[in-house]
Amino acid sequence: MSRRETLSILGGAFTAAALACVPFLFGDYGLSLAINIVSYAVLATAWSLFSGPTRYVSLATVAFFGIGAYTTAVFAETLPWPAVLAIAAGVGVVVATVVGLSTLRLSGVYFVIFSFGLAELVRQLVTWWEVNKTRTLGRYVFTDITAAQIYWQLLALAVLVFVAGFLIGRSRLGLALRAIGDDETVARHTGIDTTRAKVALFVLSTVFMTLTGAIMAPRWTYIDPAIAFNPVVSFTVLIMALLGGVHRLYGPVLGVVPLALLFEFLLARFPNHFSIMVGLVFILIVYAIPRGIAGLVEQAVRRPA
């Protein structure tokens, strides 16, 4: 292990420990803001875990987030909490495997289009099921989980994402994925089973999204398909990851913090024009900072040398 890696591990552990103290230091508003930021940090990092190296743009974040949230809504009252999380992760794995196996063998566009509609498809299927089979559209989520506990669970999940990303970056799988991102044909010719590598990583990244949804669900107390599968979430995650920069593990977080604060402000000031603002911010980022903040930082660091 190089000195730089040891330093980043120590830095990460220290940051996590410091962040764990947030519930004791700030009030309710500060805590809810922190929950928001950490949940988006997990989602954006998980997103770029797959989409960064492979360059397959996934627009389906909220499909998995919503699946997790709905699993909590269905099982939280009858099953112990760890079992709920396990079921959520299991459902996420099954859906991601089916989607991955059927679309990731093909060129990237098919995957983008499929993921574009996946949230809508899942939303309609859940609605159909609830209306026809259980005859309840919308559920209440009553648990005794406090906001601080939600925050700590999300923080633990964030640590897991970073550890997973760190280990993948050092493994053969990580090398294979970077090769796929550079040139898939070449990667296949050097003996990499590209489909298996892509599907494995896609499944891993979506498990984190599903778990985030499951952990976040008690925050809402009421859930219906329109809330759980709100496409703005996919969109927000995508912007945050892109602003931060997807080619570095720490990149997405650099985008999450400023944008989460900005959106908090916009939502409070312009609740009716929120999506226009977000769209404009997004277009601005695509044009002005295509390599993200992490890219800018690296450029700035490299220049004087």
Which residues contact residue 96 at a Cβ distance below 8 angstroms, ignoring those fewer than 6 apart? 64, 202, 203, 206, 207
Q: Is 113 in the site for another protein (CB under 8 A)?
A: yes
CA angle 160, 96, 126 (to 5 degrees): 110
Q: Is 127 in the site for another protein (CB under 8 A)?
A: yes
Bridge partner list, 222: 140
Per-residue exposure over 58-76, b if at least 16 CB sit within 10 Å of its own CB, e if not: bbbbbbbbbbbbbbbbbbb
**Subset of residues 153 to 212 that bind another protein, contact rule: CB under 8 A:** none
Q: How far is the CB of 268 from another protein (least distance, A)?
A: 17
Size of the residue set binding another protein (CB under 8 A): 42
Measured from the CB atom, the residue of 33 and 57 that comes closer to another protein is 57
On whether the CB atoms of residues 240 and 256 are closer than 8 A, the answer is: yes
Q: Is 279 in the site for another protein (CB under 8 A)?
A: yes
Q: How far is the CB of 138 from another protein (least distance, A)?
A: 16
Measured from the CB atom, the residue of 59 and 141 that comes closer to another protein is 59
Q: Is 286 in the site for another protein (CB under 8 A)?
A: yes
Q: How far is the CB of 208 from another protein (least distance, A)?
A: 22
Tell me, residue by residue from 222 to 251, as one string, x for binding to another protein by CB under 8 A and - for no binding. Answer: ---------xx--x--x---x---------
Q: Can you tell me which of 90, 275, 296, 299 binds another protein, judged by CB under 8 A?
A: 275
Query: Can you say whether the dihedral through the CA atoms of 276, 281, 286, 287 is positive or negative?
Result: positive
Measured from the CB atom, the residue of 153 and 194 that comes closer to another protein is 194
Measured from the CB atom, the residue of 218 and 251 that comes closer to another protein is 251
Q: Which residue has the tokens 């709100």?
A: 230
Q: Can you tell me which of 45, 54, 103, 205 binds another protein, judged by CB under 8 A?
A: 103
3-state secondary structure of 229: coil
Q: Can you tell me which of 18, 94, 107, 258 binds another protein, judged by CB under 8 A?
A: 107
Q: Is 278 in the site for another protein (CB under 8 A)?
A: yes
Distance (Å, rounded) from C-alpha 232 to C-alpha 176?
32
Q: Is 304 exposed, middle or buried (0-12, 13-18, 19+ CB in 10 A)?
A: exposed
Q: How far is the CB of 82 from another protein (least distance, A)?
A: 32
Distance (Å, rounded) from C-alpha 84 to C-alpha 292?
36
Helix axes 251-269, 274-288, angle to 10 degrees: 150
Quick one: which of 292, 45, 7, 49 has its CA closest to 174? 49
Q: How far is the CB of 124 from another protein (least distance, A)?
A: 5
How far does CA 177 lie from the centroid of its chain?
A: 19
Q: Residues interacting with another protein, by CB under 8 A?
A: 55, 57, 59, 102-103, 106-110, 112-114, 116-117, 120-121, 124-125, 127-128, 131-132, 231-232, 235, 238, 242, 272-280, 282-283, 286-287, 290
